[in-house]
Amino acid sequence: MGRSRVILYSRPRCHLCDEAREALAGMRIGFEEVDIEDDETLHAAFLDRIPVIEIAGRVVSELGVDEAAIRAAITWES
């Protein structure tokens, strides 16, 4: 049993991404970070929207951190 998969799409030298990383850590939410610079498709899709937080395959926050949306999207998997 565990939490839904949380992904933070980010890129280096992005202060909003730094803030999102700190917010997720402060909320005690484990996450995987994906650098959009490493993938042309992700770069094209997310460049103007980062940081993007995806939970269980669904984007729940972008261009900042929507803590309420993130907390609402976290579910326990059985």
pLDDT digits (tens, 9 = 90+) for 8-55: 999 999 999 999 999 999 999 999 999 999 999 999 999 999 999 999
Q: What 8-state DSSP symbol labels residue 60?
A: E
Residue-level pLDDT at 75: 67
**What span, in angstroms and rounded, lies between the C-alpha atoms of 8 and 18?**
10
